[in-house]
Structure 1
Amino acid sequence: MIAKNYVLGFARRPLTAYGADWRLTCLTCETLPSIENGLAVLETTPEGKPGIRVTYRLREGLRWGDGTPVSAEDLRFAWEAGRDPATGFGPAEFYRSAYELIVVDQRTVTLRLDRVTFEYASMADFQPLPAHIERARWEADPRSYRTRTAYDTETTNPALWNGPYRITAVQPGSSVTLERNPAWNGTAPGFRRITIRAVENTPALEAQLLAGQVDMVAGELGLPLEQAIALERRAGTRFRFHYHPGLIYEHLELRHDHPALGDIRVRQALLLATDRAQISERLFAGRQPVAHSAVNPLDAMFDPEVRQWPFDLARARALLDDAGWTPGPDGIRRNAAGERLSLEFMTTAGNRAREQVQQVLQGMWRAAGVETRIRNEPPRVFFAETLSRRRFQGLAMFAWISAPESVPRTTLHSDEIPREDRNWSGQNYGGYRNAEMDVLTHTLPEELDATRRREMWRRLQAIYAEELPSIPLWFRADAHVWPTWLDGVRPTGHLNVSTLWAEEWRAR
């Protein structure tokens, strides 16, 4: 998913994004709506609820790569496709809330939202889609649109791209080539062509960098931190290294309908048996702080008093005893029916750091009497199929990336559990359910007062730290490796990738 966003940042642009300064800005719109400038107006919905209407005007001169103007009809199509549950768009909360889109003129739309939220001006990933290319495909069969879209079947069609670059070649599993988009009317890009290579094995990625086969390694999804640190010691003068902390949360997703993991005592025992501080120190030179909830200390809404779970093997064993899992003759615990406490453990194959962490966790948990069976998959399979369709059976290690003060409804609300009848939209892959968390993740965005919102955030973090819908590991720092001749790359440290400003990249 990060790779997809990274590539699309060169070639496609949303309405709004958070910049490197963590402030919301317009990308394809002219002005951010606000109550003060009149582009946001409080109103009552047809159902009598508090609502808001926000108006966006597209920048003048925006064109798709075939010269067709980017218009309000492209926003209307994106909204209609997103609103249809059969389409199966990922985070569907926005499309449920935006109950009406009004085309004001060729470049202007007004969205009516059935909720007043503190982030009403942020359109997240909502962006124009080329209606003249995509609408007929969607209308033919919304349910199969995700596999029939021209973005998959005609990726090099210039009409799909409205950014400073357009995709001109794709070698599946190998590379994507981008070239300047002649229809782009913004700042002229500094490079005629950029090729992005997909290297799923991080040692091979380092070897290609040293051999000059690649010029830079993107921090958003490149070398693990400890590998970059070691490389800097050996070859620091050849490259520029930048370590950027951010809102990147490494964790263990859990199947809550698993007979063992559905027990809060087992989840707490796994966390107590995990010496995260030692792992961070030994593998990451202490640069990745231990996470105590899903909220990063860099975020303004982080609660420094949130409950912490320090490493305590004795307490972990006691919790497992209390949960009815007693040690067997080989040290692996069993329940009253004689079933072993054995968990499948998955992550992205080829990521050396994660595979090292897996081995360490496997040993730590075995000391508590928990057996793990490692089964990894290539990222394209792991994310596109196994997670999104909830096919993993126990534990899955990966990272979430968020924007500043991003309410985690899509990962924690029970209505976001992917289901076949919704074409697997939603990102609550573990199937976590908690009525109070549902209320918090739904109502927290509606609180406009930051002080009251902070108290709600405190409660959300308290529930998370107690119930452990996922097992928090640490907050990642991205390692960016650039050639000495490159300027203009601005890491953000959050969900919106640096390539959204790729037209600013320059050679010295």
Structure 2
Amino acid sequence: MRLRVAAALLVLAGPAAAQPRDTLTIGITQYPSTFHPNIENMAAKSYVLGFARRPLTAYGADWRLSCLSCEALPTLENGGAERETTPDGKQGIRVTYRLREGLRWGDGTPVSSEDLRFAWEAGRDAATGFGPAEFYRSAYELIVVDPRTITLRFDRVTFEYASMGDFQPLPAHIERARWQADPRAYRTRTAYDTETTNPALWNGPYRITGVQPGASVTLDRNPTWSGAAPHFRRITIRTVENTPALEAQLLAGQVDMIAGELGLPIEQAIALERRTGNRFRFTYQPGLIYEHMDLRHDHVALSDRRVRQALLLATDRAQITERLFGGRQPVAHTSVNPLDPMHDPQVRQWPFDMARARALLDEAGWTPGPDGIRRNAAGERLSLEFMTTAGNRAREQVQQVLQGMWRNAGIEARIRNEPPRVFFAETLSRRRFQGLALFAWISAPESVPRSSLHSDEIPREERNWSGQNYGGFRNAEMDVLTHTIPEQLDVAQRRDMWRRLQAIYAEELPAIPLWFRSDAHVWPQWLDGVRPTGHLNASPLWAEEWRVR
């Protein structure tokens, strides 16, 4: 699975050490488009819900899978997982999870197997629009063993069978009736968006107690939380989509910290560190964050692989990363990060080559017009809409640089940006962009990119727009690989399959790879216990460990 965002601390007279610090204000650059855990995959939502929800499993800062709301990871060795033959005669597996004792929703209702059963039933109905669709298709049966134990039966065996990803309990006593009334309309009727401050929705160390749409989310300690007691009485997450404005709020004390997961571009953070000395703590966390451009594969020009290759050849990524990011963002050649054990260092690379880019465009039938912009035989201009998240200074700078580079190749880029909550929830999810879309994927270690590369994951209305293959990429061999790689338990053979996947990606260019990002975390000197992960499971999933030094 991949992901794609108010009260300030009062400064009183007297020594800082004498001031009680029981509140924390965090700045991020995006606001969630929804608060429902299973609808839309957006980093801003993942970050906020990390304080208020606990999934069954997650990858920690050590990149190892662990239980969060379950007692133990099921394995073939401990008997929690068992191979079996499905009723259809396939090789399958049954996986048993037992919820931790004492887990409760914020209204005191125990978190139970019925909450997992409801999440599974809703996910199995395509009209609901939950993702990832493949998980719910493969999990063909859920058995309630007892009030805290379930067994899931899958119709195939995968190396990641113990990871439940985004599958997590939903409060059936609140949500089931809303869903049953009309599964297709559930997206707009869920209590997560109509009653966001209802305590019954939250089972983490914090619960959402206040929402200012587009501006802030307030979280207070959850009195029903049975885990380690969190230090902060209240956490406020403030959305400031303009990164210079976010920096200004930090310096003015209106926010205490800027979350690295959704914060300042790295070059802005480096400059800030130079100016402020040791006023703040800075941590630069490399991770599985892939900056790229999705593109419409049914576009008259972008449907031609030669045009996609020409775009990449006309993009001087090494120069951009050096000039804008101080060389701290390594150039990407596919979506697989060199930090990932399945990265292929021998994959094909596309160095900057303007002459070759122009030759490919000529070959594809796009010839220069009188204004320098290329046209095809029908007289259509090679003009591409180019979108990203408005207010992100780094991305907007990248757009302007690319606009100039591509014009030298005869390609016109028309920049049109939107606020992140609109860009992700509407334009991308419903495939309304018309050319190029610049954003980042955040993934888990060895995360098979089925949701963004398999043709069955192209969002469409009959599936209520689930899926993350926004560009509409179709490749039969890629479909086979993204489906079968998880089924290969032998690491060496799986690595061979990953190598082939990366070769196809580098040749076909389902998206234009740019670079792999590092996150810049900016914390006050008095904050301790925050552990950046560098992958899709964000640091707030362990917020009960955050403390004042």
* TM-score above 0.5: yes
| Counterpart residue identity of residue 481, structure 1 | V
Deviation readout 1:433-463 (Å, 9 max, x if unpaired): 0000000000000000000000000000000
Residue 101 of structure 1, aligned match among 142, 146, 158 = 142
Q: 1:196-207 counterparts in 2 under 5 A?
A: 196-207=237-248
Q: 1:208-223 counterparts in 2 under 5 A?
A: 208-223=249-264
1:459 maps to: 500
Q: 1:332-351 counterparts in 2 under 5 A?
A: 332-351=373-392
Give the deviation of 1:138 after TM superposition.
0.4
Distance 1:233 1:125 in 2: 39
2:327 maps to: 286
Deviation readout 1:94-123 (Å, 9 max, x if unpaired): 111100000000000000001100000000
Say which SS state the counterpart of residue 380 (structure 2) adopts.
coil
Give the deviation of 1:407 after TM superposition.
0.2
Identical aligned pairs, as a percentage?
87
Residue 116 of structure 2, aligned match among 66, 70, 75 = 75
Tell me if 1:4 matches 2:51: no
Say which SS state the counterpart of residue 237 (structure 1) adopts.
coil
Distance 1:236 1:205 in 2: 18
2:19 maps to: none
- After superposing on structure 2, the runs of 4+ consecutive aligned residues of structure 1 that deviate more than 4 Å are none
1:92 maps to: 133
Distance 1:486 1:363 in 2: 43
2:185 maps to: 144
| Counterpart residue identity of residue 275, structure 2 | R
2:478 maps to: 437
Q: 1:265-276 counterparts in 2 under 5 A?
A: 265-276=306-317
| Counterpart residue identity of residue 340, structure 2 | D
2:63 maps to: 22
Deviation readout 1:249-283 (Å, 9 max, x if unpaired): 00000100001000000000000000000000000
Give the deviation of 1:90 after TM superposition.
2.8
Residue 232 of structure 1, aligned match among 232, 257, 273 = 273
1:257 maps to: 298
Deviation readout 1:461-498 (Å, 9 max, x if unpaired): 00000000000000000000000000000000001000
Give the deviation of 1:93 after TM superposition.
1.4
2:28 maps to: none
1:407 maps to: 448
Q: 1:91-170 counterparts in 2 under 5 A?
A: 91-170=132-211
Residue 404 of structure 2, aligned match among 347, 358, 363 = 363
Say which SS state the counterpart of residue 220 (structure 1) adopts.
helix
2:15 maps to: none
CA RMSD of aligned residues (A): 0.5
Tell me if 1:397 matches 2:438: yes
Deviation readout 1:357-383 (Å, 9 max, x if unpaired): 000000000000000100000000000
| Counterpart residue identity of residue 159, structure 1 | A
Say which SS state the counterpart of residue 262 (structure 2) adopts.
coil
Tell me if 1:38 matches 2:79: yes
| Counterpart residue identity of residue 496, structure 2 | E
Give the deviation of 1:429 after TM superposition.
0.2
1:298 maps to: 339
Say which SS state the counterpart of residue 261 (structure 2) adopts.
coil
Distance 2:334 2:87 in 1: 38
Give the number of aligned pairs. 508
Distance 1:462 1:243 in 2: 30
Distance 2:298 2:431 in 1: 11
Give the deviation of 1:236 after TM superposition.
2.8
1:330 maps to: 371
Give the deviation of 1:91 after TM superposition.
1.8
Distance 1:343 1:264 in 2: 15
| Counterpart residue identity of residue 436, structure 1 | E
Deviation readout 1:1-42 (Å, 9 max, x if unpaired): 111100000000110000000000000000000000001000
Distance 1:174 1:440 in 2: 42
Distance 1:440 1:148 in 2: 37
Distance 1:33 1:91 in 2: 21
Say which SS state the counterpart of residue 406 (structure 1) adopts.
coil
Say which SS state the counterpart of residue 289 (structure 1) adopts.
coil
Say which SS state the counterpart of residue 168 (structure 2) adopts.
coil
Q: 1:462-481 counterparts in 2 under 5 A?
A: 462-481=503-522
Q: Which runs of 5+ in 1 are unaligned?
A: none
Distance 2:217 2:79 in 1: 42
Give the deviation of 1:339 after TM superposition.
1.1
TM-score (norm 2): 0.92
Say which SS state the counterpart of residue 231 (structure 1) adopts.
helix
Distance 1:435 1:180 in 2: 49
Distance 1:430 1:47 in 2: 34
2:534 maps to: 493
Distance 1:10 1:115 in 2: 33
Give the deviation of 1:224 after TM superposition.
0.7
